[in-house]
Structure 1
Amino acid sequence: MIGYFKDIQYQPRIDKKVLQSKLSFSKPPLESLLVTQIPIFFAIGTADENVPIESAYIVTIEFLRHGKNNLTFKQYVGFDHNALMVDESGHSVDRWNQVTDDFFNWLSKN
């Protein structure tokens, strides 16, 4: 996989724009987030299989390390990427209302 991205960066083939757009989406957004001055609400479910929770921790740690205080980090225990949670009986329960309520409460204060 790393070789694929190196090829895009250093030896673009066929359609350079398409290949380089794939590479740009692969860039970590951390640098852009760190220069942002507006408040940021950053939420993740601990059962998210698309975005490792460790990635969220890295962002939070980097904000602290850079002395930034415009990041609000909220983790939702047991929620997946779509704010679904599996209950005791094994059924998926939609928790988007909780996430959006938290976001709008945060928004009203920021």
Structure 2
Amino acid sequence: MSTDEDTDQEELLQRLLQHFLSSDDLNELCADAGLPVLIDSNGQPVYVREAVSYDDAGVMTLNRGVVIRLSDGGELQLTIVTSRHPVSPVQIRPPGTRA
């Protein structure tokens, strides 16, 4: 990750969203959240076919974000933009370690 505080936060959230959307079925996520399930024209639940970072998807922007490609052919983008910088510098703790 970068040493710039806001970029660290943006990159972490981008990677977290990408993991979250790639690790479970969309219909299960909707059911867990108490939301309706999207159904395609064949009556099948719509699922996330792919969730990739803007960099990997070739999106021409300086922002961080995730491109979500759905099984029904739909494609959505989630953009992460820093609207306020941290009050103090953030630190990065490696996974699996405790404070």
* TM-score normalized by the length of structure 2: 0.28
More helix by share: 1
* TM-score normalized by the length of structure 1: 0.26
Task: Report which of the two structures shows the higher radius of gyration computed on alpha carbons.
Answer: 1
